[in-house]
Structure 1
């Protein structure tokens, strides 16, 4: 974590980045106004992000699929989810997606399952993101969260190999769990 001395806004964080305050190769995100260093991306993690990216682009040609790019949740949060499915718009040339743009956020969790469940999922719910998935690398399953209310999702389902995840936010999206792992 970078110590700045106070909570940063997204615009201050972006300005610091443009001014070279952080190393070019640093994997950072803004969480509750704090600049946090992200874990290095492992081989399995990268493979799963790639597999899901290919599958989602093929299944959702009318939506925008982003891999490991920021979204602006609110004034003090600019996380970098592993995958985002958002409405298609050229506005992303000028800004990152905002909560009303985002339909689905996916986090691939190989070593951060607890943090993703306790930290990231509540932030996505609070921002009103309609659906979030956690891909549990170790157990080869997908946890799907939908119906945000406050800092929680009202509905959670778990899908194992041999099952299909039916998206609550994108009715046409039906993804076999194997698509993430094979």
Structure 2
């Protein structure tokens, strides 16, 4: 079995900040820009750590992997949870749009707002061209928000990186543990510290 568990190494790369004077956005300002039509669905951006960041275009393997993973998880989770994809969640300083997320409750519970981080059990990012961002700024903001489990489905290396035990209040927020799963491994699906099922990793890759 090729599963490996290791401690996270510190010193990840931050988003580059322009030298010219610019404004950082708070979450409520970003949401107001959307409500007022300044930002629309046609604008490929998301709010990460107070910065408007361009979302990467998606290749066909990325799209297919996202769909397969969402459908697989949706068949496994119990009532009281649901699976969403590429929709916003709200943290203190960000409004990312993860490729896949497992959320507590029912979709109708969120008609007036997006889900908060403490209502999220699992975040999944499918990574090809986005691998560097998913391992740095995305991982840092999910750890800061206290999201308990973060998967990166690493398409170039055909493995899944699983990050657990977030250190949300650290000077450099991060996850304490990383475990890697190869295609022949089975990966546990965990909700509220309970394993509800397992998935053969190779079934999630196209």
TM-score by length of 1: 0.91
Aligned match of 2:117: 99
In 1, distance between residues paired with 2:41 and 2:139?
28
Aligned match of 1:51: 68
Q: Quick check: 1:137 aligned with 2:155?
A: yes
In 1, distance between residues paired with 2:161 and 2:35?
36
In 1, distance between residues paired with 2:138 and 2:109?
25
- The root-mean-square deviation of aligned C-alpha atoms, in Å, is 1.9
Q: Any runs of at least 4 consecutive aligned residues in structure 1 with deviations exceeding 6 A, and if so which?
A: none
Q: Quick check: 1:40 aligned with 2:57?
A: yes
Structure having greater relative contact order (Cα 8 Å, sep ≥ 6): 2
Deviations 1:107-142 (A, max 9, x none): 000112122111111111111000000000111110
Mean CA deviation greater in 136-145 or 19-28: 19-28
Pair 128,54 (structure 1): closer, same or farther in 2 beyond 3 Å: same
3-state DSSP class of the match of 1:146? strand
Aligned match of 2:201: 177
Aligned match of 2:185: 163
In 1, distance between residues paired with 2:144 and 2:109?
23
In 2, distance between residues paired with 1:86 and 1:118?
23
Equivalent residues of 2:160, 2:182 under 8 A apart: yes
Aligned match of 2:136: 118
Pair 173,153 (structure 1): closer, same or farther in 2 beyond 3 Å: farther
Any gaps of 5 or more consecutive residues in structure 2?
A: 1-17
In 2, distance between residues paired with 1:117 and 1:64?
25
In 2, distance between residues paired with 1:23 and 1:70?
13
Equivalent residues of 1:10, 1:78 under 8 A apart: yes
Equivalent residues of 2:102, 2:122 under 8 A apart: yes
Equivalent residues of 1:146, 1:168 under 8 A apart: no
Deviations 1:138-168 (A, max 9, x none): 1111000111123121111100111111135
Question: Residue 11 of structure 1: CA displacement?
Answer: 1.6
Say which of 143, 153, 159 aligns to 2:175: 153
3-state DSSP class of the match of 2:196? coil
